[in-house]
Structure 1
Amino acid sequence: MPTTESATAPAVARLQQVRGGQEALVRRLTLFAPVVLVLFVVAAYYAAPGLGLRGPALLVTVSTALFVVAVLGRNATTARSPAHLGFVGVLVATSVALMCVQPAGPGPAGMLLAVLCVARLLPVRVGVPVLVVGFVGLEVFETVTGQQYVTILVLGSLAALYGLMYLAHRLVAANRQAERLLAELHESRLAQAQAAGLAERQRLAREMHDVLAHSLSGLMLQLEGARMLVEGDPADPRLRATVERAHHLCRTGLDEARRAIGTLRDDDLPGPERLPALAEAFGRDHGVACDYVETGTPQELGSQARLAVYRVAQEALTNVARHAAPDRVEMRLDWTGRGRVRLTVEDVGSGNAGGSGAAGGGGYGLTGMRERAELLGGTLDAGPTGHGFRVTLEVPVGAEVAA
């Protein structure tokens, strides 16, 4: 399972790229927008100075005022940055200036309104041809009326204004994309946190099951033996030995539980080096010989691979004690030399299909062993052999469970 940082790295990289593009656009708008709009006002004034407060000019003045109000109302609720607000402020100031120098008729203020609407509502591949057609028509009109010198200045300003509006549109789109990426990043981190919590709960369940099941099952068998001895002959000398074994199981079980708590912090993880002692303790506590054999050259195991080998061996022996009555148990650890380690636990002579692989009443035995193997990229096979039951675990040497 990847870590939170690695899983969200692509989203973070995309967000940084978008933010970089935004900063570049802001620099361009900050540099060119005031200059272009001031030139446009100057061009409008020299084209036909006069106040647009009567006649046809009043209609253009009112239309421009309504447009200014609409721009202010929309951007007051959608603006996301000081640069955006600054650009809108410059645009509004220019519109007010145009109303003061508005010539009679639909002059520069009307053209400003048209350019802004085209840039905002139409994609580039449509807006550019529309404006080119409009500019050509205006050029023809001004040629007929003999005012070409004004037309050149006005058209140049309008073209530059359209370019600025295109940059502003890209800035808004970049803001929206950044917001989407932030939302994706938040959802990804939330999902990672939930997955990590679930994995930790499953790990806790496996650890506590393996520790408690092993200790309590042995304790139960010893106490059952003590009960039978008391019923048969309270003076039987074997009674004391049975009680002492039960006491020993309680003490070792408590030690195992404490070590399991430390395991959650990866402190002093049990591993293959404890398998001989585990086999010896099983033979001593259950009266069944457990032969341990190790072949190959030992290798350094990852912390979770170490733990898996030990816990699977422990759980397999627990199930032998619960569900089988074997003549002996064989435990074998093979260092294959192919970057993997194989553990085999087999009860011999029980003739019981339950044996070392049977799950306990809660169903966590075999399931828990298989989960451990799969989390490490390994395998677990369990099944009857005709004269008993065999559990085989194989995991990569360096396997770890990602946090």
Structure 2
Amino acid sequence: MSDLAPGPPDSVPVPVSPRMAAALAEAAERRTRRTRRLRPVLWLILAAVAVQSLVADPAPGWQGTHLAVTLLLIGCLLPLAAVASGRWHVASPGACVLFCLLVGGFGIALGAVQPSSVAVLPPSVAVLTAFLVLRRGPALAVGAVVVGALIAAEAAGADGGAEYVVSQVLFCAVLALMAVSMRQAGASEERASLLLAQLEDAREAEAEAVALAERTRIAQELHDVLAQTLSGLAVQVQAARRMARRDEAGQDLQDLLDRAGKQVKEGLGDARRAVGALRGRSVPSLDRLPELVERYRVDLEIDVTLTVTGTRRPLPPETGLALYRGAQEALTNAARYARGARTAVTLSYGDGRTVLTVEDRRTAGAPPEPPPFEGSGLGLKGIRERLAAVGGTASAGPVDDGWSVRMEVPA
């Protein structure tokens, strides 16, 4: 038996989020718990009917009326035992109607052949089950059939008298009202749970909308400031390149200006991607790490290599972005502070974690080249903050003849 407890509301909202799915699963679990609490009641009713039938007259036997009592008793008790043991599930309308008709019909017939003080229990179980499981209309129909059979049994001359039959009918009516109340209470509890989940979803959606609006505003500011500034710089660099060619400047200067122009163009692309990320568009991932390394090798002329170990696997977008930006910052620092050193980028996919390291090592005894300008010191702090936001860690420090940045995420 899967449901003798109050059923679900007639109209259940379709799950639209994990929170709603969890609320529906919790509601189903509550119905299952109520079902388990009702099963012992069925066993008690079954035992009471069996004991009373064994001591009543005529008792069960194998001949004549005694055989009829035996067959009717088996027909009444078998469905009760099947449902009470959980072997027969009567949550569907068809199974519920069949159970009610079997228990009610055999119970009323048993009471007519063998009058006893517990003869009302089987038909009352049928009425209770109908109003717990079925919708209001079918439940009324099944209840009317059971009550009609009780009255017909009295009209056919069953012992007990009219007052006894009236008491049986009233007992069934009380159980029907109790079942309706239990069903409505269960439905109200489930609706409250689902409405609470919907409210939390709505609040979360509202917060996301506010955050998106703020990110859009920031993106617009970045676009107006950063992108326009880089566009102006690109124009200036292009003009400087034309002047260098016109004045026949040295090839080294022309190459430097060409690389500067290319970097400005790529910076514009990065700025546009950053603005797109703030607007909720796709963001850079580790799939673009080889492209990033190659760009630093060619444009900034640093000796950098990339090594990937382990089996590649997809990472959450925010995790991949954090590692990508960390590698970008570490390579920028290598180009700034470790020119002439060998830089190794290693991406390792391990069991339950992904590690990205950027190490630069100078030739033993070679003095480091002075950086073209001093940094703010916020780059490493930004790496740590990005990694912490996705549950990872970042560390940086000196190693033999160089510097190492290590980033690790659980993925």
> Shorter-chain TM-score category?
0.3 to 0.5
TM-score (norm 2): 0.46
What TM-score results when the alignment is normalised by the length of structure 1?
A: 0.47
